[in-house]
Amino acid sequence: MTAPNTDLADLAKAYGVATDFWDWQGVHTIVSAETITRVLTALGVDVTSPEALAQARDEVWRSSWRRTLPPTIVSREGWTPWVPVHLPHGAAVRVELALEDGGTIAVPQVDNWVEPRLVDGVLTGEATFQLPAEVPLGWHLLWAHVEGREPAYATVVVTPQRLELPAGLEHRRMTGLMSQVYQLRSANSYGVGDLADLADLATWGAADLGCDWVLVNPLHAAQACPPMEASPYLPTTRRFVNPLYIRVEDIPEVAYLSVEVRAAVAAQARTGQALNTSETIDRNASWAAKRAALELVYAAGLSPRRARAFEGFCEREGQGLVDFATWCALADMHGEDWRSWPAGLQSPTSPQVDEFRAEQAAEIDFFRWLQWVLEEQLAATQRLAKEAGMALGVIHDLAVGVHGSGADSWGLGDALARGIEVGAPPDQFNQIGQNWSQPPWRPDRLAELGYAPYRDMLRTVLRDSGGIRVDHIIGLFRLWWIPQGMSPGEGTYVHYDHEALIGILCLEAHRAGAVVVGEDLGVVQPFARDFMKERGILGTSILWFEWRDGKALAPEGYRELCLASVTTHDLAPTAGYLELVHVALREKLGLLTRDAAVEEAEERAAIARVAEALEARGLPHDPSDVEEFVISLHRYLALSPAKLLGISVPDLIGDRRVVNQPGTDKEYPNWCVPLTGPSGDLVSLEQLTALPYPRRLARSVTG
């Protein structure tokens, strides 16, 4: 490994690229020059020669002075930030703020002398203006009218100082369910749980269990052509939703189908429902049946009133929806990896794509219609959850990123870094590191775009929800970039404007009335959790990860602003964890870095320490009595000040099978495991809601 020279290191720091870091064992690590060079290249910086490097260093300051205004200013309510305005030295300038509600505010200049600079042969000055404290929350435009030039503008985003908790949550704890929706098979499912099943889970959870929310896996869309990606954390887009979750029979137009068409839809339903008994979830077969049914419903058309509603949805979602639907239609024809398409189809703005849109308008309209149907059913699910008594309702999950061959990668262009994949450095639980095969946001391009792609994504996820869980929220502070072809351990951190990203998240959540939960497990910068707390964002605490001085963390030691749970989807369900099925699975798959006996002994010791903590609180503490022990674990967490307490749905039925085994791909059926009971028999949603144990477990903490 060659360490970067001083010039390369200085340039890297200017772009927020880390040249060194401390690993999970406390070892100071220097990032290689090759890694830094490839990361800078992905940021559009030419460092291929000493001359190019020198020019790139000069461009760091020169590029900002070429701009009249910075691309985006993100502030907080009540703050009065200074804004630099670059203009020919001595030229007159007037600055005003156009508010999103149509009003305007004059922006005053402040007395702040900055030495002029020669930029591209023009003596350029910097005037300083100050945003007033009374600028309201929202998205605004700052206009600079410079003498002799066209007006320039910048996006201004004013965010809340702190995201206030939703009504009721500030005074009490709320318990909820944590579910993988695709596992919720019912008699009417097409082999995969859908939004109607989620609504049934939510209403049962509220009425029978006393729950106030249900957290679901990311519902982002996968590719619409086989093979459909199983992982909800590797979607083709994060803005739009997977039509696999549609309940066909709940679409209003189904009631008006002809007898013949309704019979054809029913035949597809029978095909889909036959998949409910499969030992693993087959998304491709489920989608084939469901898509055939959906195409029949779509072809029947809409009433004038419903057509106007659909048109309004399309107008609101704009070009982003058009691009996504176009990608779906193109993927149907050419395969899901746009990088292998004919060159003329590899950009959404090309003439060839325009021709395709004209030729395939009906097919593209079908994919837009699917998203409208999904929005209606998501809204209905949230409404039913609230009507049943849930205070928050559905909490949606936001994945870290998207598939490099998918719709967002195609539609968002250079807003995503090319030749880079997101992951995590080696840590205690994954000692070779992780590569999630996802292209990251380019922080510079996000600012250039006024954070619009990020905002639009958040708005879709938040629209019909009571909250949002942000997977790997630490990625809004810094993200581990891995140049393609290099190992996870050869990556480096790239820093993001967390004030902007977290602030915009708070603004959009505030407008949606939603709570925000950040998954902040793993290696975390010391200040990040403090910053989250300052902004009103909840963290995440998993019982098996919480230790202090070699003992299970006492309930009083848990954070108040957190979602506390016994387990998570990357661990075995608790019944399986107590039997060490995760150790046996990792040994079978060759994932252990040490002898299995050593691993088992360490896990048994950890379980024993947790049992001691339960005993100290007067709770049943015999791990061999699995049902009582699981109840005790949840009662233990209920003694903590945590605002949210989560119960995993698999723990309600004694499921033992691992949902996802990190570090595997085809070696294990990740995200394809349906709900099963202690004996391994399939458990339907109807069976789940009829069992006595779920109520006993939930009511032990909800009362």
CATH classification of the domain holding 135: 2.60.40.10
Give me the pLDDT at residue 429, please: 65
Characterise 511 by phi-psi region: left (phi > 0), alpha (psi -120 to 50), beta (else). Answer: alpha
Q: What is the pLDDT of residue 526?
A: 83
Residues 99 and 195 in one domain: no
In terms of domains, do 499 and 644 share one? yes
Spell out a b/e string for 469-488, using b for 16 or more CB atoms within 10 Å of the CB, else e: bbbbbbbbbbbbbbbeebeb
Same domain, 408 and 535: yes
Looking at residue 560, which CATH number applies to its domain? 3.20.20.80
In a domain, 396, yes or no: yes
Looking at the fold, whether 556 and 687 belong to one and the same domain comes out as yes
DSSP annotation of 414 reads G
The answer to whether position 335 is within a domain reads: no
Domain end among 159, 192, 220:
159
What does 203-262 look like in DSSP terms, one character per residue?
HHHHHTT---EEEE---B---SSSSPP--TTS-S-SSSB-GGG--GGGSGGGGG--HHHH
Distance CA 3, CA 129 (A): 42
% of the chain with per-residue pLDDT over 90: 93
For the chain, residues with pLDDT lower than 70 are 1, 428-429
Please indicate, yes or no, if residue 89 is contained in any of the structural domains: yes
Q: Are residues 549 and 500 in the same domain?
A: yes
For residue 332, tell me if it sits in a domain. no
Q: Going by DSSP bridges, is the β-strand pair 515-518/467-470 parallel, antiparallel, or unpaired?
A: parallel
Give yes or no: residues 149 and 46 share one domain.
Answer: no
Instruction: Give the span between the Cα atoms of 104 and 96, in whole angstroms.
Output: 7
Three-state secondary structure call for residue 123:
strand
Q: What is the pLDDT of residue 4?
A: 78
Question: Which residues are within 8 A (CB) of 481 and not within 5 positions of it... i.e. 6 or more apart?
Answer: 17, 39, 42, 417, 420, 421, 422, 440, 491, 492, 493, 494
Considering 64, 95, 112, which residue would you say is the last residue of a domain? 64
Question: Rounded to an integer, what distance in angstroms lies between the CA atom of residue 664 and that of residue 643?
Answer: 34
Give the position of tokens 């004038």.
304
What pLDDT, in 10s, does the model give residues 461-472? Answer: 999 999 999 999
55 and 88 together in one domain: no
pLDDT of residue 1: 62
Instruction: Give first-to-last CA distance, the chain, whole Å.
Output: 59
**Residue 656: inside a domain:** yes
DSSP state, 196? Answer: H
Query: In sequence order, what are the residues at sequence separation of 6 or more whose Cβ sits closer than 8 angstroms to the Cβ of residue 669?
Result: 230, 280
The total of structural domains in the chain comes to: 3
Asked if residue 555 and residue 478 are part of one domain, the reply reads: yes
| CB atoms inside a 10 Å sphere around CB 393 | 24
pLDDT for 25 equals 82
- Residue 265 inside a domain? The answer is no
pTM of the prediction? Answer: 0.97
Structural domain including 116 reads: 78-159
One domain for residues 415 and 494:
yes
Shared-domain flag, residues 107 and 222: no
46 with 141, same domain: the answer is: no
The residue assigned the tokens 């977290």 is: 502
Residue 249 included in any domain: no
Which candidate, 465, 329, 481, 359, places its Cα nearest to that of 417?
A: 481
CB 290 within 8 A of CB 246: yes
Shared domain check, 685 and 548: yes
Give the pLDDT confidence of 561-579 residue by residue, as tens digits: 999 999 999 999 999 999 9
Q: Which of 331, 336, 354 is nearest to 344 (CA)?
A: 354
Cα 470-534-141 angle, rounded to 5 deg: 75
Q: Is residue 588 part of a domain?
A: yes
CA distances from 462 to 173, 216, 509, 536 (A): 22, 13, 7, 17
The closest of 547, 626, 611 to 579, measured between CA atoms, is 626
Contact status, residue 122 vs residue 75, Cβ threshold 8 Å? no
Alpha carbon distance 583, 664 (integer Å): 14
- Tell me the torsion sign for CA atoms 244, 504, 177, 280: positive
Domain final residue pick, 127, 159, 191:
159
